[in-house]
Structure 1
Amino acid sequence: MSQSRERPDSNPYIRSPETEFDDVESMSETAANEQAEQLRDAIRYHDRRYYVDADPVIPDRTYDALFSRLQALEEQFDLDTTNSPTQRVGGEPLDELGSVDHVAPMLSIDSSGEVEDVREFDRRVHTELGLSSSGEDTQTSLDAYADESVEYVCEPKFDGLSIEIVYEEGRYVRAATRGDGETGENVTENIRTIRSIPLSLSGDYPEFLAVRGEVFMPRDAFQAHNRERVERGDDPFANPRNAAAGTLRQLDPRVTAERPLDCFVFDVLDTSHPFDSNWEIHETLPEWGLKVNDRTTVVADIESAIEYRDELVAVRDDLAYEIDGTVITVNDRQRCDRLGSTARAPRWAYAYKLPARTEETTVRDIVVQVGRTGRLTPVALLDPVEVAGVTVSRASLHNPDQIESLNVDVGDGVRIERAGDVIPYVSEVTEHENDSHFEFPGTCPICDSPVEREGPLAFCTGGLACPMQLKRAIEHYASRSGLDIEGLGEQRLDQLIESGLVESLPDLYDLRTSDLARLDGWGRTSAENIVEELTASMGPPLDDFLTALGVPEVGATTARSLALEFGTLDAILDASEAELRSVDDVGPTIANEIQEFFESEQNLTVVEGLREHGVEPQSLDVTTDDALEGMTFVFTGALDRYTRSEAQDLVERFGANATSSVSGNTDYLVTGDSPGQNKLDDATEHDVDVLDETAFVSLLDEHDIHD
């Protein structure tokens, strides 16, 4: 054992909330080093009291003052910050996670949700330990070793991500995911940001320690994080496990630091300190500053372990974390060694799974999401529930009328169904928390603009002055179905809007390399690439421009019909509703939407602003030949060389028809990645030739067609 790291009683920053600090500039390097070390010890102590013991002794503002002081000292005197608490904010982004070999195999655990399988595990344990004969029937076997029961440690099976954490001489060295059990992803820098994991052990710690833990996102934090994602228009995580896994595998530790992860430690993989029992491990780990679960216990036999699991089922919804079962482990470590392991799982542990939540769950929050057109859509954030084999954590409430009709509110129990086995929705309220329904906001949750109702729907009136509508409009404008401007992803758009560089769609064309290169995470090359992409987009085909603007009801096919009919953007702007209705694919509803869109002063301002910045849509080249005349194509899946609309336009330019469904008249079904199974089945039924993208390009070459 190495020297104890217990905090000295003389440390002035442990309990003193009113500490006064001298100016950093007036301190000597020796004094700065001494104070910095005292601050680190104090912050480690307070981290443990807050994140591990859940018993803080100072207010947050005092903790923040200690932390800020330590940061100032380290920066002013260029102090060594290895394993300093200040490193929990996250370091520089990584190129890749890399891999690391585990100090000992991280095996999986055999599991079942059937009680008889758990009893069979217990019989095998007794047989292998020589405590009973293996040839007896079930009841006889149980009676035979009733007085030779094996003691088990029982603990919740956490629904998170398993990790290995290694300490040498009490200092945090590295961490890795489970991976294949022998080698895992190196997540050392990301694990460093989790405050419940100590960077330095306390107490009489061993010289070497490798522990196994489970990183998870607490349920309240999961719902809060999902709320943030939904509010900014992102898809929420399906469950806390996915949230933890996605966060831990971030290449930017600063992103991990911003997300609320926690960790329970439950096993020792290797150590210089011997243990006689697994319960001894559970009791010792907290002495070294490692967080364990307070529901872990020792039971006398397997029937008590089964009762423990049943008790967990009853309280699972009240726990602060998600669980999916109980881990039952032989307590005696010598017996564990005798039982050994298979190639994939230990013979001394078993997981008794909890039944999956199905169809009925609880509404934990209701978030109003703002779409590209300003439409406000209420979304229910749920305790994850399995519906038709899919884990669901959100469900659409459609509109304010639906909320009132269901009389649904936060805290209510609800039944979830999937429309067409795809889109989850709340079908009914099964239990009311109180006699009320969610009050739909009268102002936009993003920009506070007034909300207007149009029938059952609600809309933000802020237009592109609403940051969310602006972001969604730019995303659509730059997407593959718009002008296909590479590099304008969600994170970069957030930066452009938050920095004030982009306050309207035309502002994109004011961006300069020097401005972009100064943004966090950008380099000169990436900045130059964005500017080049924007410059290349200034003469788009008219149909692509119409689609990129996001005119309601105008997709690629309708946009092409409009472009071919009118020829120029000005002609479309001047067209009457009757003239619009004369175009193929344009009925009364679409004609009205087009006219209203271009009569909007706000939309016209955007169009004029784009043109003032040099964006000028080009008339389509209507030159065609009949190389593919008489052929009918259907496209499914994602192509690499073309978007689906580009492929359809290409074959139509050369006389073919492009339809959306396969029939007896179809000549070719062209498939990309993830093709629709129904279309493949229809092609087989109608004996239609199926071409992958390579074969499709070869067909074009045969007809001397080049895009």
Structure 2
Amino acid sequence: MPDAEEDAPEDNPYVRDPDTDFVPAADLDAEAAAAEAERLREAIRYHDYRYYVANDPVIGDRAYDALFSRLQELEDAFDVATEDSPTRRVGGEPLDELDSVDHVAPLLSIDSSGDEADVRDFVARVEREVGDARFVCEPKFDGLSVEVVYEDGEYVRAATRGDGETGEDVTENVRTIESVPQRLRGDPPAFLVVRGEVYIPRDAFQAYNAERVERGDDAFANPRNAAAGTLRQLDPSVTAERPLDCFFYDVLAAGESRDAVEPDASRGGLDAGIDTHWAEHEALPTWGLKVNDRAERVETADEIVAYRNDLGAEREDLNYEIDGVVVKVDDRRQCVELGVTARHYRWAYAYKFPARSEVTTISDVVVQVGRTGRLTPVALLEPVEVGGVTVSRASLHNPEEIAEMGVGVGDEVRVQRAGDVIPYVEEVVASHSEGHFEFPDACPRCGSDVEFDGPMAYCTGGLACPAQLVRSVGYFASVLDVEGIGEQAAEQFVDSGLVEHDVADLYDRSVDEIAELEGWGETSAQNLKAELDAARHPPLGKFLASIGIPEVGPTVARDVAAEFGTLDAVLDASEADFRAVDGVGDVVARHLREFLDNDRNRRVIERLRDESRLGEPEPVESTDGDALDGLTFVFTGSVEDWTRGDLQALVGRHGANATSSVSGNTDYLVVGANPGQSKREDADANDVPQISPAEFFELLAERGVDPTR
């Protein structure tokens, strides 16, 4: 690797101890801005090289961020951005789909085994066919293989391995990876194709998983899955937000031009005069391409086995996932002589590690906030295979169990899967922590006090807690049968700020505002507004179930509504009054009263009661008989002069059930104007009759039900 100091840009004020007290952009003319932007680009490329390749940065993160922000400011203000600018890493326009591209040279797979005898047989075969040989050993990264193309030193294209002959075009996504240079350094071949491995560092993976769990998302199973999913995102800006990195380890083709190289899977850099894998390994960083420093050149099978065993012993200390080592014949001419099979290089072999057991290490413990405010401790693990499934998180159940087992960050633990489904920490195998994880006194999402109910902990923030807000929106919509707001849409509404305070914000958004969300349009936005309107004035029981009172599901909510009749009566009821309701015990009564005593929750309820939003819940009236006894109805779409709540209350008064989803127990799906597609599909799948509003009212008449009473 060349001396990084000697290779620094000359006379660039932003290379060492940069002055970040910039002249206001408004005081610059276009020429001065363009010149400053070019110096900033040059300096930032150098700092990227020092950080990612040389592993020896010369400025701190804050100074780097200031230079980057200044470059963005100038490029935006004076329109002086270039195709290879570091600012292009923030991500381009979303794609409709990933195109397929042909590889310059085939990207084949590698034959593998975890058996030492098989590796020795590989070495023996190589020596029989080509004589004495040296080998290059390197870690076998557990990431996603990519082909990256440079022409005249400029980044041109990137593609996934695919089937080896063609791959998915991920040019814009790979562009966002900071360790992939947009412009090469030094004197690279005019046409250069390299192979790399995109991965997520283990520490970044655990931090990112912690963020996901804390905001209620599912954790990624392992870094490889996370990297693969991220690289295939259709929106490059999403890729840019995730902590991808890349090691380069192979030259696939190199020469004066694309026409001057042979598309051979074994030649590598031969057409550019680079005749060994080791020479390629040493050349890559001189061009600004990051390589792994654990590669070694060896000569015997014994040295290969020793390299693998030594690296395996250090596997848990590395900041990247590996599942073995790769052994490659060093001499490229010998590689050409050995050739390839239809799928494999005959000059390379993967010597795999044994699969990890169910014992692993806790890298962090985070607290997830549920829809009802319940706080659940989750252990983030070094990925481990349990029952054929890779596990990276496990439940710790509650603070009492944490204290009893003495679980802390850094401990080695045994992981099991309850019923072969839910992973949980069974025991501490070896303790490396001081004490155990201490449960927080405040909610990690909103800072509200944490309240304990026996072994369970709850956030007291209620509907005002951001973590509960996404779930509250989705749950509110599902209970009130509002189609169009699933978990993903609920996240969109909250993340975009359309729902900023509470679920009542749903009713304050216009069709135009909703239509601007990604994946939405005017028609779907209008349908959602119609769904919200159709759900106005719900039965009191459904309203109580929809607002997420802890321990209060549809059955308890219906019993409470039947006992008190109106929302005001429920709001005024005491804890003792609630305990008197059949099916409501001490715990549920306390949750009801505490939830309704919370000022923020009361404000949400009052906002929902406003006629411009949900409106007053339908009071529970005395039953009008059992003419519809035994029938179950589901309503979708809008019915003129009727809200969905009115219809549900109507059939309920006459002995029928009104549910939110279609199942095999549903007798009729009543389909109004602008119906939801999913309910109709479920009806088809379950052979449920679909009737119009007119047919519904005819059915009522046949049963002697007068809907006007």
Considering the TM-score relative to the shorter chain, is it more than 0.5? yes
Which stretch of structure 1 is more off in the superposition, 356-365 or 63-72? 63-72
1:532 offset after TM fit, Å? 3.9
Q: Which residue does the alignment assign to 1:457?
A: 456
Which stretch of structure 1 is more off in the superposition, 12-21 or 344-353? 12-21
1:408 aligns with 2:407: yes
Q: Which residue does the alignment assign to 2:506?
A: 508
Distance of 2:666 and 2:561 partners within structure 1:
15
1:312 aligns with 2:311: yes
1:212 offset after TM fit, Å? 0.7
Q: Which residue does the alignment assign to 2:180?
A: 197
Q: Which residue does the alignment assign to 2:647?
A: none
Distance 1:169 1:226, change over 3 A: same
Which stretch of structure 1 is more off in the superposition, 609-618 or 235-244? 609-618
Matches within 5 A, 1:573-612: 580-581=581-582, 586=583, 592=589, 596=593, 600=597, 605-612=603-610
Distance 1:550 1:120, change over 3 A: same
Distance 1:521 1:651, change over 3 A: closer
Q: Which residue does the alignment assign to 2:101?
A: 100
Q: Which residue does the alignment assign to 2:222?
A: 239
Distance 1:340 1:484, change over 3 A: farther
| Cα offsets for 1:599-648 (capped at 9, x unmatched) | 555656544432322345568997548899xxxxxxxxxxxxx9995325
Distance of 1:627 and 1:370 partners within structure 2:
38
Distance 1:60 1:488, change over 3 A: same
The answer to whether the 8 Å contact 2:377/2:398 transfers is yes
1:66 offset after TM fit, Å? 2.2
AA in 1 matched with 2:54: D
| Cα offsets for 1:16-57 (capped at 9, x unmatched) | 423664443444433333332222111100111012211111
The answer to whether the 8 Å contact 1:537/1:615 transfers is no
Q: Which residue does the alignment assign to 1:650?
A: 666
Q: Which residue does the alignment assign to 1:11?
A: 12
Distance 1:529 1:45, change over 3 A: farther
1:590 offset after TM fit, Å? 9.4
Q: Which residue does the alignment assign to 1:187?
A: 170
Distance 1:240 1:434, change over 3 A: same
The correspondence for 1:537, drawn from 528, 532, 535, is 535
| Cα offsets for 1:478-520 (capped at 9, x unmatched) | 24x5524314644763653673753122222122245556778
Distance of 1:383 and 1:568 partners within structure 2:
52
SS of the residue 1:116 aligns to: helix
1:127 offset after TM fit, Å? 3.5
Distance 1:8 1:497, change over 3 A: closer
AA in 1 matched with 2:533: T
Q: Which residue does the alignment assign to 2:231?
A: 248
Distance of 2:537 and 2:401 partners within structure 1:
44
The answer to whether the 8 Å contact 2:159/2:169 transfers is yes
Distance of 1:544 and 1:37 partners within structure 2:
62
Distance 1:335 1:536, change over 3 A: farther
Q: Which residue does the alignment assign to 1:36?
A: 37
Q: Which residue does the alignment assign to 1:550?
A: 548
Q: Which residue does the alignment assign to 2:135?
A: 152
Matches within 5 A, 1:184-333: 184-272=167-255, 273-333=272-332
AA in 2 matched with 1:83: D
Equivalent residues, number: 631
The answer to whether the 8 Å contact 2:669/2:683 transfers is no
Q: Which residue does the alignment assign to 2:267?
A: none
| Cα offsets for 1:667-690 (capped at 9, x unmatched) | xxxxx9xxxxxxxxxxxxxxxxxx
Matches within 5 A, 1:302-701: 302-479=301-478, 482-487=480-485, 489-490=487-488, 493=491, 496=494, 499=497, 501-516=499-514, 528=526, 530-540=528-538, 545-552=543-550, 580-581=581-582, 586=583, 592=589, 596=593, 600=597, 605-612=603-610, 613-615=613-615, 624=628, 645-651=661-667, 696-697=686-687
The answer to whether the 8 Å contact 1:214/1:265 transfers is yes
AA in 1 matched with 2:535: S
Distance of 1:106 and 1:541 partners within structure 2:
62
Which stretch of structure 1 is more off in the superposition, 108-117 or 540-549? 540-549
TM-score, L = length of structure 1: 0.80
Distance of 1:169 and 1:693 partners within structure 2:
60
| Cα offsets for 1:527-579 (capped at 9, x unmatched) | 55543443333255666545433355555677778889999878988996588
1:415 offset after TM fit, Å? 0.9
Distance of 2:602 and 2:312 partners within structure 1:
59
The answer to whether the 8 Å contact 1:557/1:645 transfers is no
Q: Which residue does the alignment assign to 1:45?
A: 46
Distance 1:97 1:623, change over 3 A: farther
SS of the residue 1:650 aligns to: coil
The answer to whether the 8 Å contact 1:543/1:563 transfers is yes
1:281 offset after TM fit, Å? 0.6
Distance 1:597 1:448, change over 3 A: closer
The answer to whether the 8 Å contact 2:663/2:686 transfers is no
The answer to whether the 8 Å contact 1:624/1:653 transfers is no
Distance of 1:170 and 1:108 partners within structure 2:
28
Distance of 1:389 and 1:239 partners within structure 2:
14
SS of the residue 2:66 aligns to: helix
AA in 2 matched with 1:402: E
| Cα offsets for 1:430-478 (capped at 9, x unmatched) | 1111341111111111222221211111111121222212222112112
Distance 1:77 1:598, change over 3 A: closer
Distance 1:361 1:598, change over 3 A: closer
Distance of 2:592 and 2:378 partners within structure 1:
31
The answer to whether the 8 Å contact 1:97/1:251 transfers is yes
The answer to whether the 8 Å contact 1:217/1:241 transfers is yes
TM-score, L = length of structure 2: 0.80
Distance 1:233 1:358, change over 3 A: same
RMSD: 3.7
Distance 1:268 1:312, change over 3 A: same
SS of the residue 2:536 aligns to: coil
**Percent same amino acid at aligned positions?**
57
Gaps of 5+ in 2: 1-5, 256-271, 633-657, 671-677, 700-709
Q: Which residue does the alignment assign to 2:122?
A: 121
1:282 offset after TM fit, Å? 0.3
Gaps of 5+ in 1: 132-147, 629-641, 655-671, 673-691
SS of the residue 1:263 aligns to: strand
SS of the residue 1:381 aligns to: strand
SS of the residue 2:307 aligns to: helix
The answer to whether the 8 Å contact 2:329/2:348 transfers is yes
Q: Which residue does the alignment assign to 2:268?
A: none
SS of the residue 2:341 aligns to: coil
1:340 offset after TM fit, Å? 1.2
1:203 offset after TM fit, Å? 0.2
Distance of 2:293 and 2:18 partners within structure 1:
30
1:92 offset after TM fit, Å? 2.5
Distance of 1:594 and 1:434 partners within structure 2:
36
The answer to whether the 8 Å contact 2:75/2:81 transfers is yes
Distance of 2:500 and 2:470 partners within structure 1:
10
Distance of 1:605 and 1:617 partners within structure 2:
16
